């Protein structure tokens, strides 16, 4: 098959999956399943694009396998984490906002929203595809550096998720804002490390001994992920929800803690309602 055919196959499968999940959310009233599907779908598309045979193409099966495993483990970790959250909590505040603002057009607009997630999954699978198809015949320093970035990113995201889960599980902290561990350096450390993860494929793709003219496409991953996290589906709706539920405590947290990129915490105010007990 050709690269275009591989991408089209992935797109068709994901469009069908998202359509079925849209039907499912009509029954359950929980649109959060789209986040689960995006995570697993991106990983599935990435593995497919990394490993499927391409007629006349030269590649390194060791690199293909490495990148495919990276994509699969990333998807399983993130998808499983979101799955546990979706089944154990009420619908995410982002989707409750959409239900209120979209009114009578809700289901029609949700359908296209789900379909856009299929498109996004294919888009984010492209950097995985490009990195896996780096034609360099040897595994070199760039592959190891890319793997190291991947390990750090997944480790940081996992730690941030666990710290937040432990904080929420402590009854005495109900209504407070988590500013412990990594959350004391960034208001969204999980998003930050998710963004860092996409640089792993950039490094692997650009590590070719000779010029690899498709490598620049891997920059789509970190560029688009940063845009979506900071401007669209990540930080803005999350912070609106937390401001509504935590009020002044979250405003104080905003004043002393960087939004996205980790950095030193600024001094606490004496009136900071988030002071740990």
pLDDT in tens, 233-243: 899 989 998 99
Segment 2-45, tens digit of pLDDT: 889 999 999 999 999 999 999 999 998 899 999 999 999 999 99
119 and 146 co-located in one domain: no
168 and 116 co-located in one domain: no
74 and 108 co-located in one domain: yes
261 and 166 co-located in one domain: yes
80 and 3 co-located in one domain: yes
Contacts of 219 by beta carbon, 8 Å cutoff, 6+ apart: 127, 202
Q: How far is CA 269 from the centre of its chain?
A: 33
Segment 116-139, tens digit of pLDDT: 999 999 999 999 999 999 988 889
Res 214 pLDDT > 90: no
- Answer whether 274's CB lies under 8 Å from 202's CB: no
**pTM score:** 0.90
265 and 179 co-located in one domain: yes
25 and 63 co-located in one domain: yes
Largest CA distance in the chain: 67
More confident residue, 156 or 208: 156
273 and 244 co-located in one domain: yes
Q: How many Cα atoms within 13 Å fall on the side-chain side of residue 271?
A: 4
Task: Give the Cα separation of 40 and 251 in Å (integer).
Answer: 34
107 and 224 co-located in one domain: no
167 and 264 co-located in one domain: yes
pLDDT at 103: 87
More confident residue, 274 or 17: 17
94 and 183 co-located in one domain: no
Domain boundary pick from 92, 112, 133: 133
128 and 238 co-located in one domain: no
Contacts of 249 by beta carbon, 8 Å cutoff, 6+ apart: 175, 176, 177, 272, 273, 274
Lowest-confidence segment of 52-61, 195-204, 253-262 by average pLDDT: 52-61
Domain boundary pick from 83, 114, 133: 133
More confident residue, 65 or 276: 65
Token pair, residue 231, equals: 């401007």
Structural domain range at position 242 = 137-277
Domain boundary pick from 83, 104, 133: 133
Token pair, residue 257, equals: 């803690």
Q: How many structural domains are present in the chain?
A: 2
Tell me the average pLDDT across 59-72.
95
């Amino acid at each position: 098959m050709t690269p275009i055919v591989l991408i089209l196959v992935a797109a068709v499968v994901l469009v069908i999956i998202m359509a079925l999940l849209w039907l499912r959310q009509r029954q359950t009233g929980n649109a959060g399943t789209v986040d689960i599907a995006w995570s697993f779908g991106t990983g599935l598309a990435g593995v497919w694009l990394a490993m499927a045979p391409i007629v006349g193409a030269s590649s390194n099966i060791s690199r293909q396998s490495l990148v495919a495993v990276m994509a699969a483990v990333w998807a399983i970790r993130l998808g499983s984490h979101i799955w546990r959250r979706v089944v154990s909590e009420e619908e995410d505040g982002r989707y409750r906002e959409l239900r209120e603002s979209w009114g009578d057009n809700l289901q029609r607009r949700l359908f296209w929203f789900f379909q856009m997630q299929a498109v996004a999954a294919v888009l984010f699978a492209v950097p995985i595809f490009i990195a896996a198809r780096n034609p360099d015949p040897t595994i070199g320093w760039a592959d190891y550096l890319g793997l190291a970035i991947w390990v750090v990113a997944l480790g940081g995201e996992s730690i941030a998720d666990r710290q937040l889960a432990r904080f929420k599980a402590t009854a005495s902290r109900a209504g407070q804002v988590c500013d412990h561990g990594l959350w004391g350096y960034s208001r969204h450390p999980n998003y930050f490390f998710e963004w860092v993860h996409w640089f792993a494929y950039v490094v692997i793709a650009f590590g070719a001994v000779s010029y690899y003219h498709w490598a620049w496409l891997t920059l789509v991953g970190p560029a688009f992920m940063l845009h979506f996290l900071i401007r669209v589906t990540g930080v803005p709706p999350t912070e609106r929800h937390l401001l509504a539920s935590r009020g002044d405590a979250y405003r104080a947290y905003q004043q002393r803690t960087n939004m996205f990129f980790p950095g030193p915490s600024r001094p606490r105010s004496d009136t900071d309602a988030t002071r740990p007990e």
